[in-house]
Amino acid sequence: MEQRSLDFQRQFGETWLVDVGYYGNNGVHLPGYIDTNGPAPDAWLKCAAPNSCTSGTNTIQFTAANGGAACNGLPCVTSSNGTLLNFLRRYVGYANADDFEEMYTSNYNALQTQIQKKLSGNASVNLAYTWSHGLTTYQADRSTGGIMPQSYAAVGQNYGPTFADRRHVITANFVWDLPWLRSQRGALGHVLGGWEFSGVQTAQTGLPLTPVLSGAGIVDPAGTGCILSVEQCSVRPDFVGNPNWGPHIYNALTTKEWYNSTAYTCYGTTSPCVPYSGQTYIPTSPPGTARGPGFWRTDLGLFKNLKFTERLTGQLRLETFNTFNHTNPIAPGGAGSGSNTMSSTSFDEVLLAREPRLVQIAIKLNF
């Protein structure tokens, strides 16, 4: 891993501090899975009707009939005849062999900025903003599915955003120690003195999502075998548009799509696929092309510091989390939400949201 950074800090007067920095890294020989026994892309075409292949005493032929209705009358590879690919693998007759190899790369670049303002007493205001972009050929080293290359020949096509690639993150916080009657002398001081007000504001854009294909009625155009249930990889669709133009609907009472699902095309009879017309290439969608919902939350707290004696003190705390009850939808593929599998009935749907407003009241004693 190669890391680099350049940071500038400047103080203005006694109360302002500005920090601007660039941070980046490059990773090579990163670990991840790959099917080392996968058939070469389009190897199945040599055995597509009217042609056939032989392996020992076996005759191998991919036809419209053994591929099923998804083939639309043409030879193709589906989950119905995909086991025939085992005769075209490096180790003939065996299925997939998912190996953990150190062959992937990554890079990260970020602009990080921060402004701090100190006010009188213990009051302060801080504002931080980060723009960042992380890219990799394998999103998470211990995960499989849609993030895996569909073939050794398609590792470059696996280049896309990392799992944690949030482009914009803004965080602001403040602490205001109310200046009056801090000594808390007398009855009025005990009532009106010792108050603090604080808050945290967080706003960030969404994480990348990867639509995938699985199940019957779907064509594996290049015959990589990723359509088979025993495979750890998944067939991805063709990438034909911009998925992040909308519609971005997140009403939990309705089931509407989040990203633009028409930006993806698959082939077969399963909705929303289109009829197969002879495609024989690895589908073009890389991982992480769609974006999930962002996150926006305000937390506020009001605290009353209490002085009973020199040794006995306390604090009354009123805290609100998600103070303005902002709806933060959970992305498709998240726990309890919709799915990123195109054949799913809940594909591209946001069904749940994160926690609503929470109010917490507490008392703390120190002795």
At 64-107, the pLDDT tens digits run 999 999 999 999 999 999 999 999 998 988 888 888 999 999 99
Task: Summarize the confidence of residues 49-58 as an average pLDDT.
Answer: 90
Contact 231, 96 (CB under 8 A): yes
Compute the Cα dihedral for 142, 217, 211, 135 and give only its sign: positive
Task: Summarize the confidence of residues 203-232 as an average pLDDT.
Answer: 93
In a domain, 38, yes or no: no
In a domain, 271, yes or no: yes
- Give pLDDT, residue 118: 92
Contact 178, 160 (CB under 8 A): no
CB count in 10 Å sphere of residue 282: 23
Q: Is 204 exposed, middle or buried (0-12, 13-18, 19+ CB in 10 A)?
A: middle
End-to-end CA distance of the chain: 49
Closest of 315, 354, 278, 361 to residue 42, by C-alpha: 278
Task: Summarize the confidence of residues 39-65 as an average pLDDT.
Answer: 93
Task: Summarize the confidence of residues 223-232 as an average pLDDT.
Answer: 90
pTM metric for this prediction: 0.86
- Give pLDDT, residue 251: 53
Q: Is 27 exposed, middle or buried (0-12, 13-18, 19+ CB in 10 A)?
A: middle
Contact 193, 164 (CB under 8 A): no
- Mean pLDDT over all residues of the chain? 90
Stretch (H or E) spanning 192: helix 186-192
Q: What residues does 77 pair with on adjacent strands?
A: none
In a domain, 150, yes or no: yes
Closest of 84, 347, 87 to residue 228, by C-alpha: 84
- Give pLDDT, residue 188: 65
Residue 120: C-alpha distances to residues 17, 160, 196 (Å): 15, 47, 13
Please count the structural domains in the chain: 1
Closest of 137, 150, 339 to residue 257, by C-alpha: 339
Beta-carbon contacts of residue 212 (< 8 Å; ≥ 6 apart): 145, 146, 234, 235, 236, 237, 340, 341, 342
In a domain, 270, yes or no: yes
Task: Summarize the confidence of residues 161-184 as an average pLDDT.
Answer: 87
Q: In one letter, which amino acid is 330? A: I
- Give pLDDT, residue 249: 58
In a domain, 307, yes or no: yes
In a domain, 171, yes or no: yes
Report whether pLDDT(182) > 80.
Answer: no
Assign 121 a pLDDT band (cuts: 50, 70, 90).
Answer: confident
Q: What residues does 172 pair with on adjacent strands?
A: 127, 201
Task: Summarize the confidence of residues 30-48 as an average pLDDT.
Answer: 94
Report whether pLDDT(322) > 90.
Answer: yes
Task: Note the pLDDT tens digit of each residue in 183-198.
Answer: 666 666 666 777 899 9
Assign 207 a pLDDT band (cuts: 50, 70, 90).
Answer: very high
Task: Summarize the confidence of residues 30-35 as an average pLDDT.
Answer: 92
Assign 255 a pLDDT band (cuts: 50, 70, 90).
Answer: low
HEC sequence for 248-262 = CCCCCCCCCECCCHH
Report whether pLDDT(113) > 90.
Answer: yes
Domain that holds residue 251: 2-31+107-366
- Give pLDDT, residue 187: 65
In a domain, 99, yes or no: no
Phi, psi of 267, deg, nearest 5? -125, 135
CB count in 10 Å sphere of residue 76: 28
Contact 337, 350 (CB under 8 A): yes
Tokens 């002879």, residue located? 278
CA atoms within 13 A on the CB side of 299: 12
Q: What distance in Å separates the CA atoms of residue 270 and residue 281, rounded to the nearest whole number?
A: 19
CB count in 10 Å sphere of residue 44: 29
User: The tokens of 38 are what?
Assistant: 């996968």
- Give pLDDT, residue 253: 44
In a domain, 142, yes or no: yes
Task: Summarize the confidence of residues 339-351 as an average pLDDT.
Answer: 90
Assign 308 a pLDDT band (cuts: 50, 70, 90).
Answer: confident
- Give pLDDT, residue 177: 86
- Give pLDDT, residue 254: 53
Report whether pLDDT(367) > 90.
Answer: no
Task: Summarize the confidence of residues 311-338 as an average pLDDT.
Answer: 89
